[in-house]
Amino acid sequence: MNSRQKGARGERELAKVLTSLGFPARRGVQYSGLEGKDVVAPSLHGLHIECKRVQRLNLDAAMQQSVRDATAGEIPVVMHRRDHHEWLVTVHLDQVIRFAQVLLQAQGSSHPSLETAQVQATDQSVPLQESSSTDHRSVQDQRSPEERQPQS
């Protein structure tokens, strides 16, 4: 099976998964140039879904593609899966609240704290280090306890 066929199969598979989760979806009609989206899910309006069904994913390149292909106001999202693994979703951290709002709105639910939450960017960087102490990779905050105190 060539990569184009595998990609199309992955897009159909993701559409079925999204539909089973309550978000009706279908594979986009990319070859006609009408939509240019991997997966179309009308209830998830506001997301640009980039579907990747590969064993070795260059996640940075996939996210850059999603950012490049997203229209103004759309949240770029990469939904990806390797063989024998579950589907994963990657979204920029500063877009997580908006992503959650789209999901909740699509389900006809609302959550007061999400409706009023705002993500504020600061110019402080937080040094992070990956830890491999378990099978799951985690990220640990390497700041001192004093640095972790909220600033007023």
Q: What is the CA radius of gyration of the chain?
A: 18
- Compute CA 2 distance to the chain's CA centroid, rounded to the nearest angstrom: 25
Q: What CATH number is attached to the domain comprising 81?
A: 3.40.1350
> DSSP string covering 87-128, please?
-EEEE-GGGHHHHHHHHHHHTT---HHHHH------S----E
Q: How far apart are CA 38 and CA 130, in angstroms?
A: 32
Evaluate whether residue 82 is within a structural domain. yes
Evaluate whether residue 142 is within a structural domain. no
Evaluate whether residue 13 is within a structural domain. yes
pLDDT digits (tens, 9 = 90+) for 81-126: 999 999 999 999 999 999 999 999 998 854 444 444 434 333 344 4
**Parent domain of 93:** 3-115
Tally the domains of the chain: 1
DSSP β-ladder status, 26-27 and 88-91: unpaired
Evaluate whether residue 62 is within a structural domain. yes
Of 69-73, 108-112, 130-134, give the lowest mean pLDDT range.
130-134
Q: How far apart are CA 114 and CA 99, in angstroms?
A: 10
What's the pLDDT band for 35 if we cut at 50, 70, 90? low
Evaluate whether residue 134 is within a structural domain. no
What pTM, to 2 d.p., does this model score?
Answer: 0.68
